[in-house]
Amino acid sequence: MDKRKVDVAIIGAGTAGLTAYNAARKHTDNLVLIEGSHYGTTCARVGCMPSKLLIAAAESAHDAENTGLFGIQVGDIVVNGEKVLERVRKERDKFVRSVLASVDAIPSAHKLLGCARFVAPHRLVVGEEIEIIADRIVIATGSNPNIPDMFQGLGERLLVNDSLFELPSLPESVAVFGTGVVGLELGQALSRLGVRVRMFGRSGSLGGIADKEIRDYAEQCFSEEFYLDTHSEVTDISSVDGGVSIGFVHRDKGAVTELFDYTLVATGRSPNLEKLALHNSGLALDDNGIPLTEPSTLQCGSSPVFLVGDANQQAPVLHEAAYEGRIAGDNAGQYPKVISSERQAPFSVVFSNPQIASVGVPVGRMSAVERENYVAGNCSFEDQGRSKVIGKNRGILKVYAERNSGLFVGAEMFGPAAEHIGHLLAWAVQQRLTVSTMLAMPFYHPVIEEGVRTALRELHEKLIKTDTEVNPCMECGPGS
């Protein structure tokens, strides 16, 4: 078996691996990027990009159905499922090609195709032909969808996010399992594209929403569009002629059996760590076999191994994977010097409609005792001016501050333009702004951001008891 000594080996050429490679390469030219499957990232191939493309089509159809509010009459709306998926794939492939072009630009000597596994600390075998002796190692192997046993017999009737986009046309019906980010985004999009959707959850969670009031509100909204049960009782899942038969306890009708073209399983993702033979790595592993990793350095213990991106399951979203890759690549490149980096303000978005955004400290998930250190401000978007103007006046925003300092620490939102509001608030958290400072910022009129001001004002009133009674309509525009 060939042997090759490198300063840095990076396992996985996804978003985190590519970013780690880029950072490590500034320190050494003796490095290798190992890809076990095919190039192109989860994000581009099966994740962010194709899902947003499907959602764009769904929004287009949905908005066309709702022009009546504005005095616009629209004739028959026909969703051409083949064309919808054709555009999704065509545009997705462009994004994939842009990633592949980046990979092509990496010198061949730095790339190695094959599955890597540890045979000892510092020692990886790739395929059966080459052993890599690496001074430092970055693990960036990503994740893949969980498929619980109950779905195993469904064959082609089983879809995950990877395979959904490969369908020749939109199905007539889909049973979606999982009410997390992926299930919610794809399930709602399918529903808005005319697919009969039933969505089944188990734990009660919904799009990762922490606050119970917001969660319940969101469940009500989604339930008006498609059947949704976040505490479902599914009694049978069977492959039958022409589809999948699902027996479940319907919220209204009791025990029923329904036939679906497909099941879409979106019950979470697991890190791709099994094939790495981590028991040979010398790393300390937790009960799930995952190496313990320090978030500020991405280092596993005091070892020269770094674990990044979806593979460490700390913050499985693209911008965090890229950020982690950069930190780890930099540290791997200059090891034994390891630098702690301040992590960015936590920020996640669900591209449902309305959207969900979570920023900073998840106060909504805290116990009553923990919450005593914080104060909350609210805004309903039902009566928010601009949201009403555009007919998107559904949703709730909650903003949180430290009780003693007035420091803005986080927010959760289900509502219009949440991806944009999320940026404004995530930047505010990262800069450690106080609520007063935020209220001194410009809010244009009439904008959805004025709802943020409403919530911040409530927060401010609670933080500082003043004798001023602010009449909102005098301080700002009508319907702000």
CB of 163: closest distance to a second copy in angstroms? 19
* Two structure tokens written together for 327: 């930190």
CB of 378: closest distance to a second copy in angstroms? 19
474 near a second copy (CB under 8 A): yes
CB of 316: closest distance to a second copy in angstroms? 12
* Two structure tokens written together for 166: 């490969």
Pick from 215, 326, 394, 457: which binds a second copy (CB under 8 A)? 326
Pick from 5, 38, 94, 231: which binds a second copy (CB under 8 A)? 94
Pick from 11, 31, 46, 49: which binds a second copy (CB under 8 A)? 49
Site for a second copy in 342-401 (CB under 8 A): 344-345, 347-349, 385-386, 388-391
For residue 81, which of 242, 231, 241, 192 has the smallest C-alpha distance? 192
Pick from 1, 2, 3, 78: which binds a second copy (CB under 8 A)? 78
Site for a second copy in 431-470 (CB under 8 A): 431, 433, 437, 440-449, 468, 470
Site for a second copy in 257-296 (CB under 8 A): none
Of 258 and 419, CB closest to a second copy: 419
103: Cα separation from own chain's centroid: 24
Of 260 and 443, CB closest to a second copy: 443
CB of 178: closest distance to a second copy in angstroms? 21
CB of 471: closest distance to a second copy in angstroms? 6
Q: Which residues are registered as beta bridge partners of 285?
A: 291
Distance CA 409, CA 399 (A): 8
Pick from 46, 164, 428, 463: which binds a second copy (CB under 8 A)? 428
Query: Do residues 300 and 293 make contact, with C-beta atoms less than 8 angstroms apart?
Result: yes
Site for a second copy in 292-321 (CB under 8 A): 317-319
Of 204 and 444, CB closest to a second copy: 444
Which residues 6+ apart lie within 8 Å of 249 measured at CB?
A: 232, 233, 235, 255, 256
For residue 266, which of 347, 168, 350 has the smallest C-alpha distance? 350
328 near a second copy (CB under 8 A): no
CB of 23: closest distance to a second copy in angstroms? 9
73 near a second copy (CB under 8 A): yes
Which residues 6+ apart lie within 8 Å of 296 measured at CB?
A: 327, 340, 341, 342, 343
**What secondary structure does DSSP assign to 112-150, as a single string?**
EES-EEEEETTEEEETTTEEEEEEEEEE---EEE---GG
Is-cis flag, bond preceding 171, omega within 30? no
Query: Do residues 410 and 422 make contact, with C-beta atoms less than 8 angstroms apart?
Result: no
473 near a second copy (CB under 8 A): yes
Stretch that binds a second copy, among 207-215, 217-225, 277-285, 430-438 (CB under 8 A): 430-438
Stretch that binds a second copy, among 56-64, 118-126, 216-224, 405-413 (CB under 8 A): 56-64
Of 64 and 120, CB closest to a second copy: 64
Stretch that binds a second copy, among 134-142, 208-216, 283-291, 421-429 (CB under 8 A): 421-429
CB of 28: closest distance to a second copy in angstroms? 15
Rounded CA Rg of the chain: 25
Report helix, strand or coil for 461.
helix
Stretch that binds a second copy, among 139-147, 282-290, 368-376, 412-420 (CB under 8 A): 412-420
Site for a second copy in 99-138 (CB under 8 A): 99, 101-102, 105
208 near a second copy (CB under 8 A): no
Of 94 and 279, CB closest to a second copy: 94
Distance CA 400, CA 139 (A): 36
Site for a second copy in 228-247 (CB under 8 A): none
Pick from 82, 236, 370, 372: which binds a second copy (CB under 8 A)? 82
Site for a second copy in 23-42 (CB under 8 A): 26, 41
State the amino acid at position 414 in one-letter form: F
* Two structure tokens written together for 304: 């020269």
Stretch that binds a second copy, among 107-115, 223-231, 252-260, 422-430 (CB under 8 A): 422-430
Q: Show the beta-strand stretches assigned E in 183-307.
A: 196-200, 227-229, 234-240, 243-250, 254-260, 262-265, 269-271, 305-307
358: Cα separation from own chain's centroid: 11
38 CB-contact burial (10 Å; exposed 0-12 / middle 13-18 / buried 19+): exposed
Place of tokens 């040979």: 280
